[in-house]
Structure 1
Amino acid sequence: MSVQSGKQFVDLVVDLDGTLIATDLLWESIFQLLKQNMLYLFVVPFWALRGKGYLKHQIAERVRIDPALLPYRQDFLNYLREEHGKGRRIVLATGAARRFADDIAAHIGIFDAVYATDATRNLTSKLKTQFLIETFAGRSFAYAGNSRADIPVFEAAGEAIVVAPDRAAAKWQRAHPTRLFETPKRSWKAFFRMLRAHQWMKNTLIFVPPTLDHELTNWSVLGNALIAFCAFSAAASAIYIVNDLFDLPLDRQHARKKSRAFASGAFSIPFGLQMAFVLLAIAVLLATRLPLEFGIVLGVYIIATTAYSLALKRMLLIDVLMLAGLYTVRVLAGAAATQIEGSFWLLAFSSFFFLSLALVKRYVELQHTALFEKNRIAGRGYRADDREMVAQCGVASAFAAALVLALYVDSDSVVRLYSYPWMIWPLCPIVLYINIRIWILAHRGEMHEDPVVFLISDWRSQIMIAIGAALLLYGGARA
């Protein structure tokens, strides 16, 4: 019991996961452990068999959490600081591992005592209740928590403070009116940002093969392309979610990415895993409606994007080659779904064009990111002085794409497909204009981090793309 100017304050005991911070350290640390080495996936279950406390302890011995980067519930933390300033004794009692709890307590600097999980004891729910009753030896205490596991502690405490409650804790709070720090409202906009819905535009590449083969007006072909588009969009969103879960520490160091759904704590990690599973199930179900070849391409895409998220994006040049390959895989998926034979010209053009865009993405990151690890940009394999070389490679790839397109326009394939091949020639300067303009804007520092998002929102690029599409669809009727 603390005292200030004759006034007594009941000690305030504070939970950590979901209460003080808008995340769960067990889930976060599991993903960071797997990011270090995926083989831990086979070890974690054996640790869990020895108890949740042992599991948390073993993970904490191998993973470091930076307390400065965690998403704190700022309104509640401000309240704690005010109470601490009044002389109230504040205690941290958490089911998180001791090592994590001590680091966070040291960072915040307001806790008079820290009780946490160790290798033999998982300090949650009824065990936490019993421990606090014994620790306070009959003295009253206040408790701040957020979840179903905290309800037994609420019942034992002299005062309960409910912070951002889950469904069970919210129901308890309504039945026992007490101080409430409400959960920030989640909007549909935030949900679609979690899915990266704007990135679905990349999957319109699926429509390229039937468009170039003049089969887009065939309802059967169009229907298959639409199903393929939905399958790829669902799979892509699932992979984006998993990628975000692995990249939480890096995203929180980034000026824009720190506001992402999981980095900010707007959505919980278990919710993200559930959504990823549902989205993958949708993708697989849709794939069963299409030819087997499409399912194979979709499987390759899922494996490749997962490998990219876990390791390849940190490898110099391998990352941009993989990104360019993933764009090209979308074109192959369109060909597989519609049973249209893939063109060598199309694949060659796609490889160079999208390699240029991938290099733009890295160039902008090198330009705008100030956080470096051992002279490298955080989470990447590039150094600050690689920027000019990246730009040179990107511009060269842009001209290579235009060259492949020019050779294609002069090939027998165009003569066979178009009555007026000369109407396809303007595509070459259009492609150069789009690509080189992107590089000039990137050099000026005026480019969005993702050039594909830029293309979607830039009206000049949209006009160029519309002109090119008109030349392909209407100016070049099948002979």
Structure 2
Amino acid sequence: MILKDLAALARPWQWSKNGILFAGLVFSGHLFDAAYLSRSFLGVLVFCIASSLIYTVNDIFDLERDRLHPEKQNRPLASGRVSKTIAILFSVLLFALSVAGAWTLGRPFLLTLGVFLVLNGAYSLALKQVVILDVMMIALSFVTRAVAGVMALRQVDPNLELSPWLLICTLFLALFLGFGKRRHELRLLAGEASGHRETLGRYSSAFLDQLMVIVSSATLIAYAIYTVAPDTVAKFNSTHLVWTVPFVTFGIFRYLYLIHQRESGGNPSRTLYRDLPLFFSILGWLAAVGIIVYAGRF
């Protein structure tokens, strides 16, 4: 039973967030190269372990607050099924495994993992209590994941880089998801919001709606610019990547619909799996990108 609870503490269903590490591989044009592929998979695995470490540490720090949350009170640590001592020992094991795995991928990747852990450590210790900055720290963690996907491949391709526009798009998309999650938590907890998380009491639905309009628009603009940027066209020898913009547009609009009309958005990963239109829009985007980037390579 303890293994099942430790697995729940690690939250493997949240590992889908680390799929962003594959962006470096996909846009490198070497998706079917075994050397690139194996290093990318190892990089994703390392960040999955590191993410579980962060989730466990967060649950340790938020233990008392989670017991006030209607959903989080059922988590292994908050419910008492896993003791605080066991959770700490589990964290040490996850830290050792993530560092050991990162070491095998080279110093740049190890340093990027270090930045990821520092960002999340600062978030857990203090910055989660600072309005706006709490969501920005989470967004920067996503950007760090994207950078890590490139760093994992640096030993086989020292010149590999990720477009700045793609990094900006990642930042704004993560902010969009983060503010959507805050909105869901605020409405779910109502008058008890500040008791669960102090910063929630400083937000309002109207303010979060404004922020979401800004960052969703910025996401679409940044991605559209990326698809037609001279560097992008030269890299893929094609202007056709612009045809993937409708998939991104629909995905963002669909997510806004789920947040405002379905009161969803509290768990982006779960929403992705459960909402078929959103799921298939992402699959369509992946297929379109694959065809455009790799069609001329066979």
TM-score, structure 2 normalization = 0.92
Between the aligned partners of 1:456 and 1:215, the Cα distance in structure 2 is 27
Cα offsets for 1:385-440 (capped at 9, x unmatched): 62111111112211111111111222212322334423x22322221221222122
- Map 1:68-467; keep pairs closer than 5 Å: 186=1, 188-339=3-154, 340-372=160-192, 376=194, 378-383=196-201, 386-422=204-240, 424-467=241-284
SS at match of 2:152: helix
For 2:131, the aligned partner's letter is L
What letter is aligned with 1:475? I
The within-5 A match list for 1:9-48 is none
Q: Matches of 1:465 and 1:445 in 2, distance apart?
A: 20
Separation in 1, partners of 2:255, 2:270: 12
- Alpha-carbon separation, structure 2, partners of 1:282 and 1:385: 37
Tell me the amino acid that sits aligned with residue 165 of structure 2.
Answer: W
Corresponding letter in the other structure for 1:380: E
Consecutive unaligned residues in structure 1, runs of 5 or more:
1-185
| CA deviation string 1:264-288 (max 9, x = no partner) | 0111111111111111110011111
CA offset digits 1:48-74 (Å, max 9, x no partner): xxxxxxxxxxxxxxxxxxxxxxxxxxx
C-alpha deviation, 1:450, in angstroms: 1.7
| Matched length | 291
CA RMSD of aligned residues (A): 1.8
SS in 2 for 1:288: helix
Which gives a bigger RCO, structure 1 or 2 (Cα 8 Å, sep 6+)? 2
State the Cα distance separating 1:226 from its structure 2 match: 1.1
Query: Could you tell me the TM-score, scaled by structure 1's length?
Result: 0.58
State the Cα distance separating 1:445 from its structure 2 match.
4.3
CA distance change for structure 1 residues 215 and 253 in 2, over 3 Å: closer, same or farther? same
Contact 1:405/1:428 (<8 A) preserved: yes
Aligned counterparts of 2:78 and 2:147: Cα–Cα separation in 1: 33
Unmatched 5+ stretches in structure 2: 155-159
The 3-state SS of whatever aligns with 1:446 is coil
Q: Which runs of 4+ in 1 moved over 6 A?
A: none
Alpha-carbon distance change, 350 to 385 in structure 1, aligned in 2, over 3 angstroms: closer
Amino acid at match of 2:188: H
Secondary structure of the corresponding residue to residue 198 of structure 2: coil
Amino acid at match of 1:446: E
- What CA distance in whole angstroms lies between the structure 2 residues aligned with 1:327 and 1:223? 21
- 2:157 equivalent in structure 1: none
Q: Distance in 1 between matches of 2:73 and 2:200?
A: 21
Aligned partners of 1:438 and 1:451 also within 8 Å: no
Q: Secondary structure at the match of 1:441?
A: helix
Letter in 2 for 1:282: L
Give the C-alpha shift of residue 188 in structure 1. 4.9
Q: Does structure 1 conserve the Cα–Cα contact (< 8 Å) formed by 2:50 and 2:95?
A: yes
Whole-angstrom distance in 2 between the partners of 1:385 and 1:268: 33
Question: In the aligned structure 2, how far is the partner of 1:385 from the partner of 1:312?
Answer: 15
Q: From the CA coordinates, give the structure whose radius of gyration is larger.
A: 1
Comparing 434-443 with 350-359, greater Cα deviation is found at 434-443
Kindly indicate whether the alpha-carbon contact (under 8 Å) linking 2:29 and 2:293 is maintained by their aligned counterparts in 1: no
CA distance in 2: counterparts of 1:304 and 1:266, whole angstroms: 29
Q: 1:333 to 1:385 in 2, by over 3 A?
A: closer
Separation of aligned partners in 1, 2:236 and 2:249:
22
